[in-house]
Structure 1
């Protein structure tokens, strides 16, 4: 597994922290590729930089495009009058990074089918060009089973491998739905539960984050947590 695509069932659910945790579990050269960063001005640290901050100096950060409006990449690019990111550009960039790194993590924007250009290209198209497996990051609570099932179904329909599911932010005191979802997520995704990241993990000191990341993820992602 040289290239791994990290997507989510929506926004603000922990994709960047999960990406950082996977990177932190590797002691070899890792690259994180953010095809389109939205909602930030030039010079502000983006998601890829946050992965480096949390995971450590063995991680290389690459961002292909940045748009100031906090919108879907296609819309943000159009409003900014800037060219969109195309799937082939994502695949080419990931391929070049894979030649120099042991693992390349491609972190999407929002969910799997968020549009990157006016033709309707998505992260799924880039994953297909790369023949890369996909990890789905999902919330812990009520409603997550439906969005996870839809994302997994979209992956299967495109002939893409869903490597597994990671809960991006598990509350310290999970409610009934969150507890039950740990058992039900693998069923609806037809893929294993590969990790559970605690809420607030991204606020940990980087050294603490790195020392604890392995306990959140299964061996398939470099950790030592039993897979569900």
Structure 2
């Protein structure tokens, strides 16, 4: 699945959505001839699907963007149980295959973090490994980030994920000194043996496509692909 990239994170507030939109904005600006698909396989509550539809002119239906949609903003197995529904991963897989055939490049934003449950038996990490999705891990710039990065990379290795790199993300305004102190790239790379692809600054107006494309262009694309 070389034309697909999974964006996952260390937890639910790591900044996966801003990273996904930054990469999407970059691709649309600098590779306008390349068709782009975006997928949020499972969504609980209003959020990312609506944002993607607002920001990007996507050649896909809302159902293709989010095959499984639940009302309650809870972990999918719990949200599904509240609606007396099941998690139909076959539907998600078939939708992904359709997007891959139709588009040159497909971004897939996972729910939660690598350890987040998709069903009562499977986590995001399990699915990423089984479906062989090239993956980037979003690590928020804050205290405890080093330990989170190390733990998530260990989980990625355990589930045989093709982890291409780590993207640091400022979830609040950060100085260069704070970024270096809280998420020192050399130390994280030393412990994880995974390259840092860049650091996204705090974006107050995360719907500004020009700004998103600019920060997306600062990522290390040569390592990523």
Structure 2 length-normalised TM: 0.83
**Distance 1:79-1:175 versus aligned 2 partners, 3 A rule:** farther
Q: d(CA) in 2 for partners of 1:5 and 1:217?
A: 15
Q: CA RMSD in A?
A: 2.4
Deviation at 1:150, TM superposition (A): 1.0
Q: d(CA) in 1 for partners of 2:75 and 2:202?
A: 25
Corresponding residue number in structure 2 for 1:84: 87
**What does the per-residue CA deviation read over 1:9-33, in whole Å, with 9 as the maximum and x for residues that have no partner?**
0012210110111112212211111
Gaps of 5+ in 2: none
Q: d(CA) in 2 for partners of 1:217 and 1:38?
A: 29
**Distance 1:179-1:47 versus aligned 2 partners, 3 A rule:** same
- Are the equivalent residues in 2 in contact too, given 1:201–1:209 (CA < 8 A)? no
**Distance 1:171-1:57 versus aligned 2 partners, 3 A rule:** same
- Are the equivalent residues in 2 in contact too, given 1:32–1:59 (CA < 8 A)? no
Comparing both chains, which one has the higher relative contact order based on Cα–Cα distances under 8 Å and sequence gaps of 6 or more? 2
Structure 1 counterpart SS, 2:73 = coil
- Are the equivalent residues in 2 in contact too, given 1:20–1:52 (CA < 8 A)? no
* 2:35 counterpart of 1:34: no
Structure 1 counterpart SS, 2:102 = coil
The count of aligned residue pairs is: 214
Structure 1 counterpart SS, 2:74 = coil
Q: d(CA) in 2 for partners of 1:71 and 1:109?
A: 10
Deviation at 1:52, TM superposition (A): 4.7
Q: d(CA) in 1 for partners of 2:96 and 2:196?
A: 26
* 2:150 counterpart of 1:144: no
Q: d(CA) in 2 for partners of 1:218 and 1:205?
A: 21
Among 109, 113, 136, the alignment partner of 1:107 is 109
Corresponding residue number in structure 1 for 2:100: 98
**What does the per-residue CA deviation read over 1:171-218, in whole Å, with 9 as the maximum and x for residues that have no partner?**
5433755313142232233211112111125535233333x1334311
- Are the equivalent residues in 2 in contact too, given 1:133–1:163 (CA < 8 A)? yes
Structure 1 length-normalised TM: 0.82
Structure 1 counterpart SS, 2:37 = strand
Gaps of 5+ in 1: 41-45, 224-228
Corresponding residue number in structure 1 for 2:16: 15
**Distance 1:182-1:215 versus aligned 2 partners, 3 A rule:** farther
Structure 2 counterpart SS, 1:99 = helix
Deviation at 1:222, TM superposition (A): 7.7
Q: d(CA) in 1 for partners of 2:223 and 2:18?
A: 14
Corresponding residue number in structure 1 for 2:125: 124
